[in-house]
């Protein structure tokens, strides 16, 4: 293999480039990114960066003096993958011929229809998004967060700490019920009320009002919530349009095996755009978590370099964290397959909890609130083969 | 100056003891019976490495999984980018003593800002 193109220059792309060099790949390495920025870390964008406690330099993922001997093509988007020519086509007309391709194009924030062009309406996905939101939050006012998932909850928590008046609107009866289940979703989302942040559940958003700038969020039940700033946190969709017609099988992102291999030889996918097969579930699952973007490229690169001669290992159970209102929230595993959840240590009312999810008595997931030590031990146990 | 940490007999193999000085230092007793001392705070974010996962001569941060080498302080992978300080350890009459490094610590930005602001 003489040229490898990594398409995507965030954590998953950088991790893949590092894995390539670490695993002995010595050929030409091209990293393509649609943003102009060098690889940066996203988790602080809704927390310390938004609060002004971290600057842009702190977000850099590369270490001082790190040299991957890569060609960086930044600020240009991939528009196509030509399987016959083995080439990645770019929006600026260039193309990169490569024997191996790592797809790491991530996911893009979903928006609300009809919100384009209305000032004061934000999504939070990129550094540029975070800069814009940070500048507006600094002016204060009334913030309405649409979506009570992790991004929405973190923005609400950060904005609350900045002294902003915050309302969170969630269409589901319980926020976070998808990732955490009903019971613990209720426990974690109770953090909002602890701090005087209004949480409106079970009601959809009909639209936004305002001429050039948003002034209210209109709810399906007829209510109108005044807003100076709106953050839309309603999930993300995988950025895989550029692969249509390429021969790479798409299904909720790039469909891959348990080692990131796609339907095309010499092409692997990692990060938020990759729908990996999870042997623990017996199903494909697209995981939009930092840890997967950090770890899975090691396996995908090994598969790429081995040319399909390698047995896929068992990926570790998904893990993510969140910091809200000073509480460290950690979760590992799959809540959706559990039939029970019990608090093993701590108390729900103290927001100090180690909860274990089980299926037929076997632990399948674990949640920690301010329990890093115990959580880590449970997480290791879940990962054990 | 050598600071007494704890009795070796009170620190089982595979466990860590946090010395509550400022910034805190942790003493690790490895499964192989070696004793090391490093800064307790992960260089990425405020987390106690004494709460982490000890395997061989490495400790994994309990929050975001960067690993630090107890012998050198080196970090293996993001999100942490900077090493932790290592400290000299001595065991005398069954007591573990630590000589704290005079190097500047690599504290995460939020902790560094808090320390710079002085005692709350």
Instruction: Mark yes or no for CB contact B47/A41 under 8 Å.
Output: no
Q: What is the pLDDT of residues A173-218, one digit of tens each?
A: 999 999 999 999 999 999 999 999 999 999 999 999 999 999 999 9
- What whole-number percentage of chain A has pLDDT above 70? 100
Q: Do A294 and B48 count as a contact with CB atoms less than 8 A apart? A: no
Cβ separation B53–A380 shorter than 8 A:
yes
- At B119 the pLDDT is 59
Q: A194 phi and psi, to 5 degrees?
A: -55, -30
Flag if A291 and B65 touch (Cβ within 8 Å): yes
For chain A, the residue count is 385
Rounded Cα gap, residues B86 and A4, in angstroms: 39
Could A376 and B109 be called an inter-chain contact, meaning their C-beta atoms sit closer than 8 Å? no
Residue A99 burial class via C-beta count within 10 angstroms: exposed 0-12, middle 13-18, buried 19 and up: middle
Bridge-based pairing state of the strands B86-92 and B95-99: antiparallel
Query: For residue A310, what are the contacts with CB-CB under 8 A and spacing of at least 6?
Result: A259, A302, A303
Q: Identify the burial level of A13 via C-beta atoms within 10 angstroms of its C-beta, where 0-12 means exposed, 13-18 middle and 19 or more buried.
A: buried
C-beta atoms of A294 and B78 within 8 A = yes
pTM, to two decimals? 0.95
Chain B nearest CA to A18, separation (Å) = 10
Neighbouring residues of A361: CB distance < 8 A, sequence distance ≥ 6: none
Query: Hey, are the CB atoms on A53 and B52 less than 8 Å from each other?
Result: no
Which pLDDT score, from 0 to 100, does residue A385 have? 67
Position A356 pLDDT exceeds 80: yes
Q: Give the residue-averaged pLDDT of A52-77.
A: 95
Number of H helices, E strands in chain A: 8, 26
User: Average pLDDT in the A120-131 region?
Assistant: 98
pLDDT for the residue numbered B77 = 85
What pLDDT, in 10s, does the model give residues B20-61? 999 999 999 999 999 999 999 999 999 999 999 999 999 999
**Closest residue on chain B to A326 (Cα):** B46
So what's the pLDDT on residue A314?
83
> Among A113-122, A328-337, B48-57, where is mean pLDDT lowest?
A113-122
Q: State the CB neighbour count (10 A cutoff) for residue A237.
A: 14
**Complete edge-to-edge strand list for the sheet that includes strand A87-90:** A78-82, A87-90, A95-97
- For chain A, give the percent of residues with pLDDT over 90: 94
Average pLDDT over residues A101-130: 95
Check if the beta carbon of residue A19 is closer than 8 Å to that of residue A298.
yes
Contact predicate A106/A242, CB 8 Å: no
Measure A189 CA to nearest chain B CA, in Å. Answer: 20
Split at pLDDT 50, 70, 90, the class of A316 is: confident
pLDDT of residue A117: 87
Region B55-76: mean pLDDT is 96
- How far, in Å, CA of A373 to CA of B64, rounded? 12
Residue of chain B minimizing CA distance to A330: B63
Distance of alpha carbon A296 from alpha carbon A193, whole angstroms: 37
Which chain B residues contact residue A292 at CB under 8 A? none
Residue A117 token pair = 């062009």
**Cα–Cα nearest to A225, from A158, A160, A170, A154:** A170
* ipTM of the complex model: 0.92
C-alpha count within 13 angstroms, C-beta hemisphere, residue A348: 12
Question: Can you tell me the mean pLDDT for B16-23?
Answer: 95
| Residues on chain B touching A41 (C-beta within 8 angstroms) | 78-79
pLDDT digit string (tens) for A68-100? 999 999 999 999 999 999 999 999 999 999 999
CB atoms under 10 Å from CB of B32, counted, come to: 8
Of A53, A372, A373, the CB nearest to B110: A53
Q: Looking at the complex, does the CB of residue A52 fall below 8 Å from at least one CB of chain B?
A: no
Of B53, B104, B54, give the one whose Cα is nearest residue B82. Answer: B104
Question: How near does any CA of chain B get to the CA of A290, in Å?
Answer: 9
Q: Test A53 with B79 for CB contact under 8 angstroms.
A: no
Using the predicted structure, report yes or no on whether residue A284 has a pLDDT greater than 90: yes
For A322, residues 6+ apart whose C-beta sits below 8 A from its C-beta are A150, A153, A154, A329
pLDDT score of A114 more than 90: no
């Amino acid at each position: 293999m003489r040229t490898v193109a990594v398409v995507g220059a965030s954590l998953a792309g950088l991790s893949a480039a590092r894995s390539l060099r670490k695993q002995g790949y010595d050929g030409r390495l091209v990293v393509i990114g649609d943003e102009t920025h060098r690889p940066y870390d996203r988790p602080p964008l809704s927390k310390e960066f938004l609060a002004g406690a971290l600057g842009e330099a702190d977000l850099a993922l590369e270490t001082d003096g790190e040299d991957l001997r890569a060609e960086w093509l930044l600020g240009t988007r991939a528009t196509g993958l030509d399987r016959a020519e083995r080439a990645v086509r770019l929006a600026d007309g260039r193309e990169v011929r490569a024997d191996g391709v790592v797809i790491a194009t991530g996911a893009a924030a979903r928006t609300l229809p009809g919100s384009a062009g209305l000032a004061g309406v934000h999504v939070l996905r990129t550094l540029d998004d975070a800069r814009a939101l940070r500048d507006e939050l600094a002016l204060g006012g009334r913030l309405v967060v649409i979506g009570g998932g992790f991004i929405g909850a973190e923005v609400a928590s950060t904005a609350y700490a900045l002294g902003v008046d915050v309302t969170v609107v969630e269409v589901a009866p319980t926020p976070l019920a998808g990732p955490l289940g009903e019971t613990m979703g209720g426990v974690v989302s109770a953090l909002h009320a602890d701090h005087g942040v209004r949480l409106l559940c079970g009601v959809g958003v009909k639209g936004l009002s305002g001429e050039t700038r948003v002034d209210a969020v209109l709810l399906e039940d007829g209510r109108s919530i005044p807003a100076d700033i709106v953050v839309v946190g309603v999930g993300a969709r995988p950025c895989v349009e550029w692969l249509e017609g390429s021969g790479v099988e798409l299904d909720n992102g790039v469909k891959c095996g348990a080692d990131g291999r796609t339907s095309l030889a010499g092409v692997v996918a990692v990060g938020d755009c990759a729908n990996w097969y999870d042997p623990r579930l017996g199903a494909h699952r697209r995981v939009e978590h930092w840890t997967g973007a950090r770890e899975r490229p090691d396996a995908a690169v090994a598969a790429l370099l081995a040319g399909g001669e390698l047995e896929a290992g068992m990926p570790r159970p998904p893990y993510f964290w969140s910091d809200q209102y000073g509480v460290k929230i950690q979760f590992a595993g799959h809540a959706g397959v559990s039939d029970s959840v019990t608090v093993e240590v701590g108390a729900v009312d103290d927001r100090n909890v180690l909860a274990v999810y089980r299926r037929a008595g076997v632990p399948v997931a674990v949640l920690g609130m301010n329990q890093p030590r115990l959580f880590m031990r449970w997480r290791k146990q879940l990962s054990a083969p | 100056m050598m600071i007494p940490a704890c009795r070796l007999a009170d620190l089982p193999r595979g466990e860590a003891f946090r010395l509550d000085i400022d910034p805190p230092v942790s003493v690790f007793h490895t499964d192989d019976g070696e004793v090391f001392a490093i800064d307790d705070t992960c260089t990425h974010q405020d987390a106690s490495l004494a709460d982490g996962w000890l395997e061989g001569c490495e400790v994994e941060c309990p929050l975001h999984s960067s690993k630090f080498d107890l012998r050198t302080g080196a970090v293996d992978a993001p999100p942490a980018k900077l090493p932790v300080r290592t400290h000299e350890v001595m065991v005398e009459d069954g007591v573990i003593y630590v000589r704290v490094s005079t190097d500047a610590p690599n504290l995460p930005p939020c902790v560094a800002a808090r320390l710079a602001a002085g005692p709350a």
